């Protein structure tokens, strides 16, 4: 009888440890997210399930074209692509991205450019015209855009995003299985 009670206690301890570890991993390291809406088409589809790396920016700086999840409001997280980094001036003219006056290619938009009328891809804008009216992106902030520029609520309407609002970086689609992949850019 004592042996049986000991086995139950061992199982309960093991389950509590496993639950605790899973909770720590979920809170501090990785979390699942489901893409909601068409703002990142064709890269991400509505309903894609992804893993968010929450500690990526604790060990490295954000890079241009990283896909990030951030708190857009208390109730809602958004998933977008980093386009501008601190200290940079961002502008789009005639569907061409300019960073500090230099043209920057956006390879992830190639499919859209071929399928859509390019005059409707991205309306022209400059950083100083966006909320906050910054001349350059302030330290500790990034400018984000959705890949589907005609249907995305992003920095063009909500302004630059403080780094402390970024939940993490994501590039792994794990569901549905036929879309499972690691995104490169």
| Catalytic hit among 6, 13, 39, 60 | 39
Cβ partners under 8 Å of residue 125, min gap 6: 91, 92, 156
Q: How far is CA 176 from CA 7, 154, 170, in A?
A: 39, 26, 16
Q: How far apart are CA 81 and CA 97, in angstroms?
A: 13
Query: Is residue 73 annotated as part of the catalytic site, yes or no?
Result: no
| Catalytic hit among 3, 73, 80, 152 | 80
Cβ partners under 8 Å of residue 85, min gap 6: 62, 63, 64, 137, 142
Query: Is residue 80 annotated as part of the catalytic site, yes or no?
Result: yes
Active site residues: 39, 80
């Amino acid at each position: 009888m004592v042996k049986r009670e000991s086995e139950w206690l061992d199982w309960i301890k093991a389950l509590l440890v496993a639950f605790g570890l899973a909770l720590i991993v979920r809170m501090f390291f990785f979390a699942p997210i489901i893409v909601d809406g068409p703002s990142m088409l064709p890269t991400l589809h509505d309903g894609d399930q992804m893993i968010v790396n929450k500690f990526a920016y604790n060990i490295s700086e954000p890079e241009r074209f990283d896909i990030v999840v951030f708190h857009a409001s208390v109730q809602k997280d958004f998933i977008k692509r980093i386009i501008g980094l601190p200290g940079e001036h961002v502008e789009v003219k005639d569907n061409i991205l300019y960073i500090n006056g230099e043209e920057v290619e956006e390879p992830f938009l190639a499919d859209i450019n071929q399928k859509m009328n390019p005059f409707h891809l991205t309306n022209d804008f400059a950083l100083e015209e966006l909320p906050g009216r910054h001349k350059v992106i302030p330290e500790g902030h990034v400018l984000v855009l959705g890949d589907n520029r005609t249907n995305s609520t992003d920095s063009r309407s909500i302004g630059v995003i403080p780094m402390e609002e970024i939940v993490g970086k994501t590039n792994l689609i794990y569901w549905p299985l036929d879309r499972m992949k690691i995104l490169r850019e």
